[in-house]
Structure 1
Amino acid sequence: MSSHDRAAAAVFAQVALAADGAVIGIALAYVAVQSWFKFNTTSSALHKIRRAPVVRVSDLRSLIASSSDDNNTSDESELAVGKLVVVRGIVEAKSAVDGNWRSLRPNILVSHESGERAVVLQRTQTCIYNEWRGLFGWTSDLRTLFARSWKEQESTSFRTVPFILVEAGQWPHSDYVIVNLDGSRHPLPLTTVYHQLQPVHASPYTFLQALFGHEYPVSIVNEIYVCLGDFVTVGLLDEEKILPIGKEISAVGICSTQDGGSEIKSCKDLPYFLSDMTKDQMVVDLAFRSKVLLWSGILLGSLSFGILGYAIVRNWSRWKEWRQQRQVQRSSDAAAAAAAEIGDEEAGDAPDGELCVICLMRRRRSAFVPCGHLVCCQGCALSVERESAPKCPVCRQTIRTSIRIYGS
C-alpha cells in the first residue's frame, strides 16, 4: 500500500470513528434497515413461489380456464388477468411453430464464435486497464475510494428473437407457451460459449489504429488521450453468452392467454423469471436468503443500537462537562471582572467598621438578600454566592443573591 493509500485510509478511519463511532452506527443502522426491507421482499417472493403450481406446458390452458371459472369470469378479456405458475420446458424458436412460409427459414440467432443456434445472444467487450496515477497520485486515491468501477469499462450488445417453451420429447409442438421478455430485468440463464482475454499494449500506434477504424473500445482511446504519453497496459476481454435452443429451463411468471395461445411474463416482485433451477431449488434458495437477511438485520441492528447508544451517552457526558466548565468559566470571568471593577479605590484606607468581614482589605459594597447585611466586598460576596449552600457570614441565613451598594 502506497503512502497516498495509507493517508486515504487514515482519513476514512477518522471520519468513520467521528463522534465516538456515531458515523459507523448510522451506517450499520442503514444496512440493517436495507436488510430488513430485502428480507420482507424475499419472504413475500418465497410465499408466492411456494403457492405457485408447477404445471406442464400442455396443462396451461386448462389451468387458466379453471382459474377463470372459479372467478366466474366468462369473458375472454378476463383471461388476460393470468395466474402465477412455474413452467418447465425446452427452449425453441417461435418460428418453428408459426406454420407459414417463414418456418422454412427459422428466425434464430447463431453464435459468431461457436456456431451454436440460440434465441438470445449477448456479446460483451470489457476494457481492463491499469489506473493512471494522475497529478501527485490524488486521482488514484479518489478512484480507490469512490469509483473502483472505473478500472473496467464494458460495451454490451444484446439480441433476442421470439421464443417459446415446449415439452420435452413432444413433436410436433402443438402446445407451447410464449416467453415475453418485455419489461423484464431478471437475469437470464445464459451459457458462456466464448471467453478470451487479449492483452493490448497501448502506444501511439494503437491510438492511430483506433482513429482509423480498428475495433478498439472508446475507453482505450480516451485513456491513451488522457495519459498523454504515460501509456498503460490494456486488456480486452471478449465474452459471448447465449440461450441455446434445446435447453431445459424453468419459467416463473404470470401466465395468460394471448391471441389464442398461452403467454408468460415476468413478475417484478419475484427474483426469478427464467432459471436453471426447479421450483424446489428456488424455494430452498429463497429460504436460505431470507434467513441470512433476517439474522444479518438483527445482528447489524443490535450492533448499531449499541454503538449509537454508546455514542449518545459519551457525547451527552461530554456536553454536560462542557456546560459545567462553561458555567465555571463564566463565574470566574464575572469574578475577575468584578475584582477589576473594584480596583484600587476600595483597597485604600478605610475605617475598621467599613472593612469586609472576610478579607479585611476592601470596603463593604454588597448587601445579601434577603437578610440585608452589608458586611462584604463585592468579590467576597460573589465567592459566598458560588458556594453549594450560601449563607450570610453574620446571621447564617441562607441567601439568594447579593446587591452592590453605591455610596453617594
Structure 2
Amino acid sequence: MSVHDQAAAAVLSQLALAADGAVLGLGLAYVAVRSILKFTSNSSALRKIEQAPSIRVSDLRSVLTLPSDNDDSANVQSESGKLVIVRGCVEAKSALDTNWKSLRPAPSGVLVSQESGDKGVILQRTQTCIYNEWRGFFGWTSDLRSLFVRSWKEQESSTVRMVPFILVETGRWPQSDYVIVNMEGSRHPLPLTTVYHRLQPIHASPYTFLQALFGHEYPVGLLDEEKLLPTGKEITAVGICSLKDGSPVIKSCKDLPFFLSDLTKDQILVDLDFKTKVLFWSGVVLGSLAVGILGYAVVRNWNRWKEWRQQRRDQQQSSARSNQANDQGASDEEHGDVPDGELCVICLMRRRRSAFVPCGHLVCCQSCALSVERDLSPKCPVCRQTIRNSVRIYDS
C-alpha cells in the first residue's frame, strides 16, 4: 500500500470513528436493517416455495382450472394463476409446428452461437475491456480514485437475444404436453452455459503511453464471452402458471429470487434456508454491535456535554463573583468620603480615576471617561482637546 493509500485509509478510519464511533454505529445499523429486510423477504419466499407443488409438465392441466364460457370464477382463477414448480427440458417454441409423430427433427427458429455453433433459445454475448493503472508523474490522484470512484461499468457491454421457448417433460418423445415460458418483466438470473471464452491482449499505442504517463486507466485486454441456454437442457421453473388460450404459461414472480434454475426444488429450499440463516444471524450480530457502539457513543457524548455545561456554569459563576467583588470594592472606594477636589467633573459623585490621552487630564471617573470616548468627536472636558482614549489610574 502506497503512502497516499495509507493516508486515505487513515482519513476513512478517523471518519468512521468520529463522535466516539457514532458514524461506524450508524453504518452497521444500516447494514443490519438491510440484512433483516432481506431475511424477511427470503423467509417469505422460502415459505411460498415450500408450499408450492412440484409437478410434471403433463400434470399442469389437471392442476389448473380450465376456463369455461359460463364460469366467471374459473376465468378469474385461470388468469391469476397458481404458484408451481415445474422441471422439464428446454425446447424452442417453433418445435410445436413440427410433426410430433415423426422422428425428432432439429428445431428451427433457434439461436446459434457465432463462435461455437451451439444452438439455444437464449444467447448472451459479453465483451469486457480490462483496464490497468500505472502511477505516472501526474498519477498520484489515482490512489484516491481507486478507493472512492473506481468503477468497472465502462468495461462491460452485454447483449441478450432470445426466442420463444417451452418446457417439455424430460425423457418423453414425442411430446404432447408443454408449458410456455414467459420471460417478460423477468430480472432473475438465468441458468446459462458458457460456450465461448477468450481473452485477447490489446496492443499498446502512443495514446496508451500518454494515458499511462499521466496516471489514467488504459486498456490491456478484451474478454469475449458467449453464454447460451441450449435446447434439451433440464431446468426448473418456479413461477405463476396460468392458462392462456388453452395453453399453460408460466411467468416469473417478483417476490421470489428464482425463476429458471439448474437446481431442483429440494436444492432451492436448502440454498434459500442457508441464505436465510446467514441473513438472520448477520442482522442480529451487526444490530447488536450497532446498538452497543451507538449506546457507547451516546453515553460518552452525553457525559462530555454535561462536563462542558458544568465547566461553563462554573466559569460563569466564578466570573460573576469576581465581577461582583470588583464592583463592590470599586463602589465602596468611589462612593466613600471623597474630597471635593477629587470628584469627577461630570457626575460629581465618583473619584477621578481615568486620565485622557494625549492631554493627560485626570478629571473623570472610569464610567464618565468611557462615555466621553463613545462620542462622535471625543474631547477633554477641561481643555477641549481631541482625545484618543483614556487610561485607568491606580493608587499604589
> TM over 0.5, yes or no?
yes
2:37 is matched with 37
Using the alignment, how far apart are the partners of 2:72 and 2:273 within structure 1? Answer: 35
For 1:9-65, what per-residue CA distance to the aligned partner results, in whole angstroms no more than 9, with x for missing partners?
A: 010000000010111111111111111110110000000000000111111111102
Q: 1:294 to 1:75 in 2, by over 3 A?
A: closer
1:179 is matched with 181
Using the alignment, how far apart are the partners of 1:21 and 1:136 within structure 2? Answer: 36
The residue correspondences of 1:137-152 to structure 2 (distance < 5 A) are 137=139, 139-150=141-152
Using the alignment, how far apart are the partners of 1:12 and 1:264 within structure 2? Answer: 49
Q: 1:62 to 1:73 in 2, by over 3 A?
A: farther
Are the counterparts in 1 of residues 122 and 229 from structure 2 also a CA contact under 8 Å? yes
2:6 is matched with 6
The residue correspondences of 1:69-84 to structure 2 (distance < 5 A) are 75-76=74-75, 78-84=77-83
Cα drift, residue 344 of structure 1: 5.5
Using the alignment, how far apart are the partners of 1:231 and 1:152 within structure 2? Answer: 11
1:109 is matched with 111
Question: What one-letter code is carried by the residue in structure 2 that aligns with 1:241?
Answer: K
Question: Are 1:48 and 2:34 matched, yes or no?
Answer: no
For 1:283-335, what per-residue CA distance to the aligned partner results, in whole angstroms no more than 9, with x for missing partners?
A: 11111111111111111111111111111110010000000111112123323
For 1:230-269, what per-residue CA distance to the aligned partner results, in whole angstroms no more than 9, with x for missing partners?
A: 7845111111111011110000000011222111000000
Q: 1:323 to 1:235 in 2, by over 3 A?
A: same
Structure whose residues are more often helix by fraction: 1
Are the counterparts in 2 of residues 143 and 150 from structure 1 also a CA contact under 8 Å? no
Cα drift, residue 275 of structure 1: 0.2
Are the counterparts in 1 of residues 95 and 107 from structure 2 also a CA contact under 8 Å? no
Using the alignment, how far apart are the partners of 2:207 and 2:135 within structure 1? Answer: 22
2:193 is matched with 191
Q: Secondary structure at the match of 2:24?
A: helix
1:390 is matched with none
User: Out of 311, 331, 345, which is 1:325 matched to?
Assistant: 311
The residue correspondences of 1:261-280 to structure 2 (distance < 5 A) are 261-280=247-266
2:23 is matched with 23
Question: What one-letter code is carried by the residue in structure 1 that aligns with 2:315?
Answer: Q
The residue correspondences of 1:148-297 to structure 2 (distance < 5 A) are 148-150=150-152, 153-204=155-206, 232=218, 234-297=220-283
Moved more, 274-283 or 136-145: 136-145
Question: What one-letter code is carried by the residue in structure 1 that aligns with 2:128?
Answer: T
2:384 is matched with none
Using the alignment, how far apart are the partners of 2:4 and 2:60 within structure 1? Answer: 63
2:92 is matched with 93
Q: Secondary structure at the match of 1:249?
A: strand
For 1:208-249, what per-residue CA distance to the aligned partner results, in whole angstroms no more than 9, with x for missing partners?
A: xxxxxxxxxxxxxxx977977978451111111110111100
* Alignment length (residue pairs): 330
Moved more, 306-315 or 74-83: 74-83
The alignment's TM-score, normalised by the length of structure 2, stands at 0.76
Cα drift, residue 172 of structure 1: 2.2
- CA-based RMSD: 2.9
Cα drift, residue 151 of structure 1: 7.9
Q: 1:335 to 1:344 in 2, by over 3 A?
A: same
Q: Secondary structure at the match of 1:287?
A: helix
Are the counterparts in 1 of residues 136 and 214 from structure 2 also a CA contact under 8 Å? no
Moved more, 17-26 or 128-137: 128-137
Gaps of 5+ in 1: 207-222, 352-408
Gaps of 5+ in 2: 100-104, 338-396
2:369 is matched with none
Are the counterparts in 1 of residues 140 and 215 from structure 2 also a CA contact under 8 Å? no
Are the counterparts in 1 of residues 92 and 107 from structure 2 also a CA contact under 8 Å? no
Are the counterparts in 1 of residues 54 and 85 from structure 2 also a CA contact under 8 Å? yes
Residue identity over aligned pairs, in percent, reads 65
Question: What one-letter code is carried by the residue in structure 1 that aligns with 2:273?
Answer: A
Considering only CA atoms, is the larger Rg found in Structure 1 or Structure 2? 2
Cα drift, residue 336 of structure 1: 3.8
Are the counterparts in 1 of residues 33 and 283 from structure 2 also a CA contact under 8 Å? yes
Q: 1:98 to 1:113 in 2, by over 3 A?
A: same
Using the alignment, how far apart are the partners of 1:127 and 1:151 within structure 2? Answer: 10
